[in-house]
Amino acid sequence: MDASTNPFNEYGERIAASDLRRYRKNGPRPWTRTLIEALKAEGVEGATLLDIGGGIGAIQHELLDAGAAQAMSVDASAAYLEAAREEGERRGFGGRVAYRHGDFVELAESVPSADIVTLDRVVNVYPHVDQLVGLSAERAQRLYGLVLPRDTRAVRLGIRAINLVQRLRRQRVRAAVVPLGDIERVVRNKGLIPRFSQDAGRVWQVVVYGRP
């Protein structure tokens, strides 16, 4: 997608810089930390990682710190991708991470598989969820981890309010609650089965699938 049609360019330099400052001060957000710890419990030593829509790269940085060998970061926000690169180089990971800018679904044919594939708060803002989940799950050789909104009335009402604000601000990114059953149907068709599930506060849930 080009810059004029890419809604994720709304995640610009100011937002990316703010998120990076917060990460450097406080570490990963609670839901991201839950996903990271669940993956580490499964074993990440020597693993390859494909992090889709990973923002400033918290998952990449933490798993590389924990012994993962290499990572690829695919993000539709150029500002977030640059922030992830900046932090990766600061930590000495420059030669261990590849960066791809664009819509993963459009790039998927040229994106290699990895031991671990992660999507942290991505499926809830992507308009073609089945495509995104199907193509990304195919590339998970061992583990597939997601953070997505809980399917509760309060969360649905909150997302409606957020979308209204986005509409009033003329911003194009919209959020949605994606039923976990819909995700699991696609994931199971790709040969993955549930390994971990945990709520991370009132809004987010963390799930990890694996190869049998």
User: Domain limits of the chain?
Assistant: 7-149+182-210
Give the count of beta carbons closer than 10 Å to the beta carbon of residue 178. 19
Name residue 125's amino acid: V
CA torsion 126-44-57-143 (nearest 10°) is 0
Task: Report the C-alpha gap between 202 and 100 in whole angstroms.
Answer: 33
CATH class, domain 7-149+182-210, is: alpha beta
Task: Report the C-alpha gap between 185 and 195 in whole angstroms.
Answer: 15
pLDDT tier at 8, thresholds 50, 70, 90: low
Which distant-in-sequence residues (6+ apart) come within 8 Å of 35 by Cβ? 59, 118, 120, 145, 146, 147, 206, 208
The mean pLDDT of 68-82, rounded to a whole number, is: 96
Q: Name 158's bridge partners.
A: none
Residue 174 backbone phi and psi in degrees, to 5? -125, 145
Q: What is the pLDDT of residue 3?
A: 46
Q: What is the pLDDT of residue 171?
A: 73
pLDDT digits (tens, 9 = 90+) for 104-159: 999 999 999 999 999 999 999 998 999 999 999 999 999 999 999 999 999 999 98
Query: Is there a contact between 73 and 51 (Cβ–Cβ < 8 Å)?
Result: yes
